[in-house]
Structure 1
Amino acid sequence: MDVKKIEFNQRNNTTGKLTFLEAKRDIPFEIKRIYYVYDVAKGERRGFHAHKELEQYLICIHGGCTILLDDGLEKENVLLNNPSEGLYVGPGTWREMYGFSEGAVLLVLASEYYDEADYIRDYSQFKRYITDKEA
């Protein structure tokens, strides 16, 4: 599975904390799109898709949520609840986001502009895509 959780650069002093990340240094791709998910109703799930080419970094900058990752062979749940950590999610990984705490904000850095053709939104099509890709 092409996923990796990393801790970003952090500076701390008596006045607070500052976390920073830089494209092409901390993020292995040029950032072409930034969006964030927030005000998710209690018990709701988001995502339910994979990407053919897109790379992403997911950062829960406030509160917490859990990311279900699935590469077609194995599944993994990753808790994001530290604004100085990011989760890299590569192409061909199904993702679902759930368990959002009240006030959670999930920031996403994406390698490409929005392109609906890059999305796989049906899980059975995702499984076929993975099988065909491995053949």
Structure 2
Amino acid sequence: MSTLEKIQLLEIPVVEDVRGNLGFIQKDVLPFEFKRVYYLFDVPSSAFRGGHSHIKQAEVLIALSGSFEVILNDGYSKKSFVLNKPNIGLYIPTGIWRELENFSSGSICLVFASDVFIEEDYIRFFSEFMDSKK
């Protein structure tokens, strides 16, 4: 069973340079081998994303630009994170309900996923998510 204690903030390696910084992700940076990378952008500040849980897939979210809030629920308690630094990733293991909201103007959310898109891996209704915790 996944719990909020398994969630981690990961420090993304950065090479600092007077010409600009370079952040990178390679095999040993994430707690899983990623199979898919996607990003959210142009999300209106009044909108929210997420609203689901995964059965098998884990993810790491990074605010490449701007900021947004990630609200996580393991079926027993909730925890909120504000992501606003491109060198910090939020590791979300399987079995955690997630909602993303309060997107700032110009924000970009980069996501590394442990698997390709498989619709059957999603729990899209909170009531079903809570039933899965019984």
What TM-score bracket applies, with the shorter chain setting the length?
A: over 0.9
Contact 2:72 2:79 in 1 (8 A): yes
CA–CA separation in structure 2 for the residues paired with 1:65 and 1:96: 10
CA–CA separation in structure 2 for the residues paired with 1:55 and 1:90: 5
Which of 68, 75, 78 in structure 1 is aligned with 2:78? 75
Displaced runs of 4 or more, over 3 A:
none
Residue 45 of structure 1 pairs with residue 45 of structure 2:
no
Determine the structure 2 residue equivalent to 1:119: 122
Greater Cα offset, 26-35 or 94-103 = 26-35
Determine the structure 2 residue equivalent to 1:105: 108
**Structure 2 unaligned runs (5+)?**
none
CA–CA separation in structure 2 for the residues paired with 1:83 and 1:113: 23
Determine the structure 2 residue equivalent to 1:3: 7
| RMSD, aligned CA | 0.8
Determine the structure 2 residue equivalent to 1:20: 24
The one-letter code of the counterpart of 2:38 is: Y
Q: Secondary structure at the match of 1:47?
A: strand
**Deviation at residue 129 of structure 1 after TM alignment:** 0.5
Contact 2:45 2:101 in 1 (8 A): no
**Structure 1 unaligned runs (5+)?**
none
Alignment length (residue pairs): 130
The one-letter code of the counterpart of 1:18 is: L
1:40-74 deviation per Cα after TM superposition (whole angstroms, max 9, x unaligned)? 11211111000011010000101110000000011
**Deviation at residue 77 of structure 1 after TM alignment:** 0.6
Q: Secondary structure at the match of 2:132?
A: helix
Greater Cα offset, 6-15 or 54-63 = 6-15
CA–CA separation in structure 1 for the residues paired with 2:63 and 2:14: 15
